[in-house]
Amino acid sequence: MIDKKNLKIAMGADHGGYGLKNQLKEFLSGGGCTVIDCGTDSTAAVDYPEFARAVARKVADGEADFGIMVDGAGIGSAITANKVLGVRAALCYDVSTAKNAREHNDARVLALGAGLIGSALAQQIVETFITSECTAERHLRRVQMITDIEQQPDIEFTAPQSTPPIPVVETGISESDLVRITDEVERLLANAGLTLSPSGVPQPLEADYIRGKQMVQQPDAVRKFMDFGVERVGYHNGTGCENVPEDIARCIDHTVLKPDATDADIKKLCGEAREFHFATVCISPSYVKLAAKELDGSDVKVCTVVGFPSGAHSPEIKAMETRQAIRNGAKEIDMVINIGALKSGKDDLVYRDIRAVCEACEDGSAISKVIIEAALLTDDEKVRACELSKKARANYVKTSTGFGPGGATAEDVALMSRVVQGAGLGVKAAGGIRSYDDARKMVEAGATRIGASASIGIVKGAQETTISN
């Protein structure tokens, strides 16, 4: 992992990204980076290609190690930066895409959309982007292929003989299709409080109304739900307060891990997850195939547990469990650390334990969460567990299995959040979270994901809170 201290970062933004650029500039400077500000210097309307090119030029000329460009959506800046010879720019909207852009593509310029993500998430994305490296031979080989194409654009590129040709499918879009697509984009942006500027960049609505309906002023707790963490917030049908429960739901892992859960229980869980658009369903490994089938075509992912609930399995067994779960359809893995090894001071074993699962997740493009079972640990042990999770390159640390002597506490979440802050990890609070008020306390303490079996109650509590405000 790259040490971010002493890195030189070129930064730029248009008027839509000016505010977020300044926040990230302060964040990077505070972390020891040298920031080269390429403008803009105010919220006065400007053209983003000018600044995106300036940032990319700094990277291409070797004046900066990395470049960061912020506009309303990030798309135009990424396209512009990629026109500068020798630059690979990537639009990233969460930690996973930032990590992939660096480790798989060796991208050096990061494009961000200020109208699509909040400051907390942007900081996590930037941290991950500038500290990750492209080291795997297969990825380095592919990056070189990209470079070869760029340097010899007139030479036809021939794929290796072992790679079957990709069929080209020609698709026509009618004028009526374009109208429907445009209407849908406008609706989604309106739900997010955005509109398209004449230049095609999403920007905040100036009026307090969306399509004739008054926008609801969200309470601060709901805003935190919508700004935090690794996961993107999705917008669905409806406007105003009708949207809030679904947006909060995207931060919840809808969970059933009781040993007597039946096929019917899992199908019911998946049906509820589809209805409320939860982030995942979290179920036992034996039900992964069933859940994947039930959720096929939906926006809900399948999460399962590994080494559950004691954590006493060997690293090899946990890695095998992880790989099998991913093959069966799991997209997120919650693994339990070897608690006894941690308490015995065997940090090397705990690291190997976590890393074995994280590596399997990386190979399978899955999210890794590390359950430390905080109720069994001293504060020092909690810190060590979080530090080892950072070292092993996990995506989240998680408080509890729900089967230990205690569940999530705001104090534990706050401690874990402080330890992993700036490392690109999220914090999942789980165990004993039964109401919106419980969930709100966890978010205020620093949680970026919630694991709960009372998910529907939390969402309905959020809706009631929003309406009352």
- For the segment 98-134, what is each residue's pLDDT rounded down to a tens digit? 999 999 999 999 999 988 888 888 999 999 999 999 9
Q: Do 8-151 and 224-468 agree at the fold level?
A: no
Q: Which two tokens stand for residue 140?
A: 């380095």
Residues 6+ apart with CB under 8 A from 36: 8, 9, 10, 11, 58, 63, 64
- Look up the CATH number of domain 8-151: 3.40.1400.10
198 bridge partner residues: none
State the angle between helix axes of 347-363 and 315-328 in degrees (0 to 180), rounded to the nearest 10.
20
Catalytic residue numbers, as ranges: 334, 398, 428
DSSP states of 6-75: T-EEEEEE-TTTHHHHHHHHHHHHHTTPEEEE----SSS---HHHHHHHHHHHHHTTS-SEEEEEESSSH
Q: Are 149 and 157 in contact (CB under 8 A)?
A: yes
- Three-class SS state of 151: helix
Record the pTM.
0.51
Q: Which two tokens stand for residue 246?
A: 């679904």
Query: How far is Cα 154 from Cα 129, in angstroms, rounded to an integer?
Result: 32
Bond into 163 cis (ω within 30): no
Position 188 scores a pLDDT of 59
Pick the CATH number of 224-468 from 3.40.630.30, 3.20.20.140, 3.20.20.70, 3.90.1150.10: 3.20.20.70
Residues 6+ apart with CB under 8 A from 102: 128, 129, 132, 133, 134
Bond into 309 cis (ω within 30): yes
Phi, psi of 91 (to 5 degrees): -85, 120
Position 412 scores a pLDDT of 95
398 bridge partner residues: 371, 428
Query: How far is Cα 7 from Cα 33, in angstroms, rounded to an integer?
Result: 5
pLDDT tens over the chain, length 469 residues = 677 778 999 999 999 999 999 999 999 999 999 999 999 999 999 999 999 999 999 999 999 999 999 999 999 999 999 999 999 999 998 888 899 999 999 999 999 998 888 888 899 999 999 999 999 999 999 999 998 888 775 555 455 555 455 454 444 555 555 566 666 666 655 555 555 544 444 444 443 333 333 333 333 443 444 344 333 322 222 222 233 334 678 889 999 999 999 999 999 999 999 999 999 999 999 999 999 999 999 999 999 999 999 999 999 999 999 999 999 999 999 999 999 999 999 999 999 999 999 999 999 999 999 999 999 999 999 999 999 999 999 999 999 999 999 989 999 999 999 999 888 899 999 999 989 889 889 988 999 899 988 888 888 887 666 545 5
The dihedral over CA atoms of 37, 38, 41, 42, expressed in degrees to the nearest 10, equals -120
Distance from the Cα of residue 172 to its chain's centroid: 33
What are the residue ranges spanned by the domains of the chain? 8-151, 224-468
